Amino acid sequence: MATEGEYESILCVKPDVCVYRIPPRASNRSVRAADWKLDTPDWTGRMRVTARGKVAYVKLEDKISGELFAQAPVDEYPGIAVETVSDSSRYFILRIQDDSGRSAFIGIGFGDRGDSFDFNVALQDHFKWVKQDEQFSKQAQAPDTSPKLDLGFKEGQTITLNIGQEGGRKKKRPQSSGGFGLLPPPPGGKLAPPPASRTPDNNNTEQSPPAATESDAGCLLDLDSSNSTSEAPNSFKATASSDLWGDFDSATEQ
């Protein structure tokens, strides 16, 4: 049964319903609505189906005043509280109860087949929700035995993040036209000889250094004025034929 303080929701409302007093069942055979006095219902009014918690209530009320005529608490559907008849889909057997717990069986019927369909679907949807809610409660109480995915880092495991890089591509720095380029050739189109170059000759002897220029000879004359008229060392003598480069003239002797 529903507990106090639970919210009551409305599942279905039908403005026209007929109530019939039905004879007691003589056997377990199915009930037929044709055995009722369908042309002379015992009461007519409005039907309102509500739900509070897991229990649904079929309430028969006066159309004008809304006074409650009878109500049937429904714990399950299909069940003993609401039963269908064998010969029509517009009629049902309803078990009503009063506040003292006394119960009786009456027959109800709808003039339109669509109203009976809505009444049937409203009860089915409610108890379908009740069944799903019970399954969710059982799953929440049962311990979770499924394997859990471990997303933590293992010991010594690292991760690399590439932040601010566009696909690992590096843009080439544009070269300015005024940057360092190739040096222009020296004046006269002649290259200076490399310093202290050594080239073995056919006699495996070391090449003599190039002859001294006039400026070099002047420096030597300033250092030793007594030998100013002496001949320059042989190491400064060079001829055009012994020059490896051939494009440079040797200095003259002082």
| CATH of segment(s) 8-140 | 2.30.29.30
Q: How far apart are CA 125 and CA 122, in angstroms?
A: 5
> In this predicted structure, what is the pLDDT of residue 165?
60
State the CB neighbour count (10 A cutoff) for residue 25: 11
112 contacts: CB under 8 Å, gap ≥ 6: 16, 90
Residue 84's Cβ-count burial label (10 Å; 0-12, 13-18, 19+) is middle
pTM for this entry: 0.55
Q: How far apart are CA 52 and CA 8, in angstroms?
A: 4
Helix (H) or strand (E) holding 120: helix 113-141
Which among 95, 88, 19, 106 is positioned nearest to 56, based on CA atoms?
95
> In this predicted structure, what is the pLDDT of residue 109?
96
Instruction: Please tell me which residue, 42 or 174, carries the higher pLDDT value.
Output: 42
State the CB neighbour count (10 A cutoff) for residue 106: 19
Q: pLDDT for 89-142, tens place per residue?
A: 999 999 999 988 899 999 999 999 999 999 999 999 999 999 998 888 877 777
Q: How far apart are CA 171 and CA 148, in angstroms?
A: 45
Helix (H) or strand (E) holding 71: strand 68-74
Q: pLDDT for 192-229, tens place per residue?
A: 566 655 555 544 444 555 555 555 555 444 544 444 44
Average model confidence (pLDDT) for the chain?
Answer: 76
> In this predicted structure, what is the pLDDT of residue 244?
54
Partnered with residue 91 across adjacent β-strands are 109
Pairing between β-strand 55-61 and β-strand 8-21 as defined by DSSP bridges? unpaired
Q: Is the dihedral of CA 8, 10, 15, 20 positive or negative?
A: negative
